[in-house]
Amino acid sequence: MIIKRFTAAMVAVLALGAGAAHADWPERPVTIVVPFAAGQTGDMIARMVGKELETRFGKAFIVENRPGSGGRIGTTYAARAKPDGYTLLMTSTGPYAITPALYPNDTKYDPLKDFVGIAETASTPQVIAVSNASGIASFSDLVKRAKAKDLSYGSAGNGSLQHLTMELLKKEIGFPMVHVPFKGSAESKTALIANTLEVTSDSLPPLLTSIKANQIKAVAVVDNKRSAYIPDVPTLGELGYPKLSAVAFFGLVAPQGTPREVVQAINREVIAMFKTPAFQEQMQAQALTAPTERTPEQFSAYLAEEVGRWKKVVEQANVTVD
């Protein structure tokens, strides 16, 4: 009986000690690893979120850019970091859900085993846009033209979400188009404006200014709900393709094993910050959609669904990278 009481007391003390160890988190700066170059959408979101978390937790949240290899460099680094709550990763659809499917032998992290979801931070739908000189006035025009003659479409690069979005459309709708990979969204958009490219698929933020200025024309939102930023542009769901959806997510994850209390604390503050008018204004300025409110467990489940979905797209579309 004495031994049992002693054991129970020790368990209670250890549990209290574990809780106390996380009660003062963070005691030093927290690093948010960004697997994208500075200035890209994921980087901007990380800096917005990091600045707000600094205010809420009273410690610095430092953004560290580690771009390259489709996000694999930064993501691998974060996966190997100590799971103590002081290294987080701002990820997105590309490096988290697409890259592992495209590079199964060269990806040194498993998104489902090496990370735990914290919170979604933003999303944005893919948009199909055409050049003004193409003569294409609607998505139905695009389909007719693609089936009647050779068309080329540009993307931000081989294996990018933009690339897979168009390959998904090609397979489901049944029209041939030639892929022209660029070195990023800026290059493909420039070619579209210059009328040297006829079609592109991209996230809304990099295209919005040019759409508003009538430099290019958006013909469809690849989702089932219209975007508040371009409300006159129909969705593929409205156009008769309800199964076609390509929405880029952005979110915070942490190395697997990060204390649950830390993950929950960050989740609560991220959800709270997105409810403030000031932060909503920042999101609108970047043409981003506010995140869906989810618990860490719900966000992890969503991430698993995305990993499975895009792996299936890669396999069914027979997408390869050079």
Q: Which residues contact 47 (CB under 8 A, 6 or more apart)?
A: 63
pLDDT per position as a tens digit, 31-47 = 999 998 888 888 999 99
d(Cα 252, Cα 49) in Å, to the nearest integer? 10
Contact 126, 188 (CB under 8 A): no
pLDDT per position as a tens digit, 58-89 = 999 999 999 988 889 999 999 999 999 999 99
- When mean pLDDT is compared over 96-100, 199-203, 264-268, the highest value belongs to 264-268
d(Cα 111, Cα 96) in Å, to the nearest integer? 6
Helix residue spans in 120-246 (DSSP H): 139-148, 161-169, 185-193, 204-212
Burial 14-50 (b: 16+ CB within 10 A, else e): eeeeeeeebeebbeeebbbbbbbeeebbbbbbbbbbb
pLDDT higher than 90, residue 13: no
Contact 101, 275 (CB under 8 A): no
pTM reported for the whole predicted model: 0.83
What pairing do the DSSP bridges indicate for beta strands 115-131 and 152-155?
Answer: unpaired
pLDDT per position as a tens digit, 166-216 = 888 888 888 888 889 887 888 889 999 999 999 999 999 889 999 999 999
pLDDT higher than 90, residue 316: no
> Which residue segments constitute the domains of the chain, with CATH numbers given?
26-123+249-317 (3.40.190.150), 125-222 (3.40.190.10)
